Amino acid sequence: MTSLFRYSSSPAIVPQTGCDWADTMVLNPAMIQDPKTHRLHMLFRATGPWPKKQMAGKPLPYPIFLGYGYSDDLGETWQADFSRPALAPVLAYEKENIWINNIHGHRVVNYANGCIEDPRLHYVDGTLYLTVACRMFPPGPYWEHDEPTQCCPAWIHDVDQPLGIAARTNLTVTVLYQVDLDRLTAKDYEHAFAYVTHLTDPEVSDNRDAFLFPEKLIIDGQPQYVMIHRPREPHTFAGGRQGVSPSIFIGSATRLEDFPTHQARHKLLAEPMFDWEGNRIGGSFPPIKISSNEWLLGYHGKKDDATGYTQSFMILKQESGQFPRVIHRCPDRLMYARQPWELEGRFKIPCLFSCSGVVVGEDLIIGYGVADERVGIAKGSFSTLISYLRQYDEAGNKNIS
pLDDT one-digit tens code per residue, 103-144: 999 999 999 999 999 999 999 999 999 999 999 999 999 888
If one compares 266 and 400, the residue with the highest pLDDT of the two is 266
What is the average pLDDT value for the chain, to the nearest integer?
Answer: 97
What share of the chain in percent tops pLDDT 90?
Answer: 94
The per-residue pLDDT for 344 is: 73
Quick one: average pLDDT of 230-246? 95
Is 153 a residue whose pLDDT tops 70? yes
What share of the chain in percent tops pLDDT 70?
Answer: 99
- Structural domains of the chain, with CATH: 12-389 (2.115.10.20)
The per-residue pLDDT for 401 is: 63
pLDDT digits (tens, 9 = 90+) for 302-329: 999 999 999 999 999 999 899 999 999 9
Is 1 a residue whose pLDDT tops 60? no
pLDDT digits (tens, 9 = 90+) for 329-363: 999 999 999 999 999 777 778 999 999 999 999 99
Is 223 a residue whose pLDDT tops 80? yes
Which residue from 144, 138, 169 is spatially nearest to 61, judged by alpha carbons? 138
pLDDT digits (tens, 9 = 90+) for 156-212: 999 999 999 999 999 999 999 999 999 999 999 999 999 999 999 999 999 999 999
pLDDT digits (tens, 9 = 90+) for 248-287: 999 999 999 999 999 999 999 999 999 999 999 999 999 9
Torsion of CA 71, 73, 76, 81, to 10 degrees: -20
Note whether 200 and 207 are within 8 A (CB).
Answer: yes
The per-residue pLDDT for 154 is: 97
Q: Which residues contact 54 (CB under 8 A, 6 or more apart)?
A: 60, 61, 151
**Can you say whether residue 325 is alpha, beta or left, with left for phi > 0 and alpha for psi between -120 and 50 degrees?**
beta
Quick one: average pLDDT of 233-252? 95
> What is 185-230 written as a DSSP string?
HTT-GGGTEEEEEE-S-TTT--EEEEEE-SS-EEETTEEEEEEEEE
Instruction: Please state, in angstroms and rounded to a whole number, the distance separating the CA atoms of residues 44 and 367.
Output: 10
The per-residue pLDDT for 164 is: 98
Q: Which residues contact 77 (CB under 8 A, 6 or more apart)?
A: 12, 71
Residue count of the chain, please give it.
Answer: 401
> What is 314-326 written as a DSSP string?
EEEE--TTS--EE
If one compares 80 and 2, the residue with the highest pLDDT of the two is 80
The per-residue pLDDT for 348 is: 79
Is 215 a residue whose pLDDT tops 90? yes
Instruction: Please state, in angstroms and rounded to a whole number, the distance separating the CA atoms of residues 31 and 11.
Output: 16
Q: Phi and psi (nearest 5°) for 183?
A: -70, -35
Is 387 a residue whose pLDDT tops 60? yes
